[in-house]
Amino acid sequence: MDFFDFEKINLVFQSKYLALIILAFLAAAGFSILSYRITNPPMSKRRKRLLTALRIAAFFFLFLSIFEPLLVGIKKLIIEPRLIFLIDTSKSMELEDSYGKRAETLENFLASDEVRDLEQSYKTEFFEFGDTIVPMGDALEFKYNATAIGEVLIDLYKSHSKDAIGNVVLVSDGQSNLGITPLQVTEDLPFPIHTVGIGDPSAPKDIGIKRIVANEVAYQETPFPVRVYVESWGMANEKAEVIISLKKETLEKKQITLGQKGELNEVEFEVTPLETGMQNLIVSVPSQEGEFSRKNNSRYFSVNVLASKRKVLLISKNLNWEYTFLKRTLEEDDNIQLVEHVLGKGAVPGQIARLPSDLEQLQEYECVIILGAINQISRAGPGGLFREYVGSGGSVLYFVQQDIDISPGREDYWADILPFTLTKGSNQVTMNEFNAVLTVEGRYHSITNIETSDNLPPEQAFASLPPLEGFIMVGGLKEGAKSLLVHPKLREIPILAIGNYKAGKIVSVTGFPLWRWNFVPVGFGKTTEVYTKLIHNTIQWLLVKDELEPFVLKTDKNVYKTGERVNVLAFLRNENNQPIDGAAIEAELSRTSVEDSLEFNPLSILLDEYEKGVYEQRIPSLPPGDYLLDAKASLRDKVVAEKKKKFIVEEYSLEFQNVRMDRNNLLKLAQLTGGKFFTASDYTGLPDAVKIEEKSERIKLEKNLWDNPIFLILFIIFLAIEWILRKRSDLL
């Protein structure tokens, strides 16, 4: 500590036994005085006082260390906040529009007198960004395939100490196409952001495929619909063809009339797949004369084609709203042959008369849905049959109600196949409204990774649903089972869980009533797509059997836009279907075609284990092309499993979804943070808008003295001097 830099310095004693130590010191001092009252041989009073003082001083430094002294200093620091320049170097910033070349405009701004004046007036830092933020290099390189302004601002704030940022100057076209929006983070930022907009705020002449809506699962030789939304600007009354193709073979064409101000054309195709397996289809629109960009004229989408129409058995203990809405949703899927059986009064016309009585009859159905009926099923006799059915590869969707029979001999029918454990409280109903929340696994799983028509992320899609009224208090998850939805406070309660039993799958739903997610949104003018997709995704997951292999490698999508991050997931299990932890999973990422592989160096990717038996890694944005992941799982340096996974990054880029300068976004960002908005043609007022003042902060510094060797040294010195003087005075 430099004592001259502190405003105030205090000495504090920390010992809990301060009073007792003081009494001990006083006793030691008293003993020292008594020791020299009478000496043999006699000595002068001056010599006695000196010896007494030396002994008391020695005791003083000994007891001072026992007091646990702490030196506390208050220091005033002067902080000079920095001016941060954030320069957008995403690929949209190298475009040329009616306002000129954006790259040249950006370079002119950086070389301007206004920026030079600010550099002379304040300490400045320059960063470039796209989907991440790095210090700006000597030359601008427009390399980012996506722009995440919101995430970049949060990363900037977290990377600097408190009060280190005075103002921020953000230079961009304002298009944020990845991650959280910049307006969502303004409340967390304690500094003003001045924005400089680059580019033309009006849309150029362009046409693009905005969105494709199609089922993720289809059935061989069964037509399925594909809806394509085409957006066009500056092309009033022009004609264009929309083409859907598979393996470079055109399946169908339709002509549309283009618009002037971003109008959407909805085009519907009907596709009949002839082969099973994952099929990658392309929707494209030929380039138009004078079109601004051709990179958004084609889009891929993938469909998993299954062998035939699937037979599903729906068992309900009675007629209720859950049954009604579930049945209605399932009947919308022409690929499902629904067979029903209601156990209670009011049987459904056309239902089967009796439940299957043996395994052969039950295996006619690829999936069984049970609505709170397993107690009645168990009493009817075939409870153990369902365990055998799931073990042989069958699938069950079970809506848990207050119906679990845990009496001796009955619980064994279901305990093995359910994804949660059974306890004495497993049939307890808890009435408490709540909104179910996604788990980490739920964000990526095909059941709950739901894309809505308004492009809400899955977390927001489920948060927008009406609350459920209650849940069944079941036991905890079994090893290997996964919660996709949980209670917001009681996160150990699996609201929607998945599990495996031998070769089969099971999904359990413990929250109720789920039908509210279908009924209530309609009253508020909203769609029911989250409920509908949740049910369809669940059935499709139960019907697809490929995830039961010991080693599963997958990506969260089969087709990515250029600029999107690729999330890789791997699941490793033993022969008993139990998760394996501690494995090393390494994958090599390469291009599938020989020509593309010459331009792309293979990447080695090591997956991280985020929970037992589940491994993941996120790959930054990739250039367009067909990719192959070749993964190997190793235990104790021995390869135990291998798997490959293909995916596509299409040329359609996040950067070219919207290429106009988003003036409104930049203006609001500046207003909400206390900054000002400027255009690339007029930013002369920027130096006056930037106001940064020095800030002061008082900090407290502490230094423990009890362990300082100086106390021991002084104690020894004073005792040594006393001993020498005693010897010279012939004292014992």
Instruction: Tell which residue, 281, 242, 295, has the closest CA to residue 264.
Output: 242
DSSP state of 596: H
What amino acid occupies position 252? E
Query: What pLDDT is attached to residue 642?
Result: 93
Residue 596 has what pLDDT?
64
What is the secondary structure of 395-407 as a DSSP string?
EEEEE--TT---S
Q: What is the pLDDT of residue 307?
A: 76
Residue 362 in contact with residue 386, Cβ under 8 Å?
Answer: yes
Look at the block and give the residue holding tokens 């039993």.
Answer: 501
307-311, 442-446, 481-485, 589-593: segment of lowest average pLDDT: 307-311
Buried/exposed 125-155: b ≥16 CB within 10 Å, e otherwise: bbbbbbbebeebeeebebebbbbbbbbbbbe
How many C-beta atoms surround the C-beta of residue 44 within 10 A? 9
Domain chopping of the chain, boundaries: 3-77+701-728, 81-202+660-693, 206-302, 310-547, 549-652
DSSP H or E run through 590: strand 584-591
| CATH level 3 topology of 549-652 | Immunoglobulin-like (2.60.40)
CA distances from 641 to 107, 195, 588, 608, 614 (A): 52, 52, 14, 17, 14
Mean pLDDT, range 354-368, rounded to an integer: 87
Q: In what order do the strands lie in the sheet with 206-214?
A: 206-214, 224-233, 261-271
Please count the CA atoms within 13 angstroms of the CA of 315 that sit on its side-chain side.
Answer: 23
Q: Which fold has domain 310-547?
A: Rossmann fold (3.40.50)
| Topology agreement, domain 81-202+660-693 and domain 206-302 | no
* Cβ contact 580:573 at 8 Å: yes
The architecture in CATH of the region 81-202+660-693 reads 3-Layer(aba) Sandwich (3.40)
Q: Is residue 245 exposed (0-12), middle (13-18) or buried (19+ Cβ within 10 Å)? A: middle
What mean pLDDT is reported for the chain? 86
| CB contact set of 200 (below 8 Å; sequence gap of 6+) | 97, 98, 99, 660, 661
CB of 344 within 8 A of CB of 317? Answer: yes
Q: What is the pLDDT of residue 406?
A: 47
Q: Pick the residue with more confidence: 688 or 386? A: 688
pLDDT in tens, 21-80: 788 888 888 888 888 877 778 888 888 888 888 888 888 888 877 878 888 888 777 778
pLDDT tens for each residue of 447-471: 998 878 777 788 888 988 999 999 9
**pLDDT of 405 higher than 60:** no
pLDDT tens-place string over residues 471-517: 988 888 887 788 999 999 888 889 999 988 888 899 999 999 999 99
Q: How confident is the model at residue 353, as a pLDDT?
A: 63
Say which range, 266-280, 566-580, 635-649, has the weakest mean pLDDT.
Answer: 566-580
Q: Return the exposure string of 683-706: e unless at least 16 CB atoms fall within 10 Å of the residue's CB, then b.
A: beebbebbebeeeeeeeeeeeebe
599: which DSSP letter?
Answer: T
**pLDDT tens for each residue of 262-308:** 899 999 999 999 888 889 999 999 988 888 888 889 999 998 888 77
Asked if residue 546 has pLDDT above 80, the reply is: no
8 Å CB contact between 498 and 507: yes
Query: pLDDT tens, 298-318?
Result: 999 998 888 777 889 998 888
The percentage of residues in the chain with a pLDDT greater than 70, rounded to a whole number, is 92
Count the residues in the chain: 732
**Which structure tokens are listed for 499?**
């599990």
CATH of 206-302, one of 3.40.640.10, 2.60.40.10, 3.80.10.10, 3.40.50.300: 2.60.40.10
User: Span 175-187, mean pLDDT?
Assistant: 88
307 vs 558: CA distance, rounded Å: 20
Long-range CB contacts (within 8 A, 24+) of 43-48: 43/729, 43/731, 47/725, 47/729
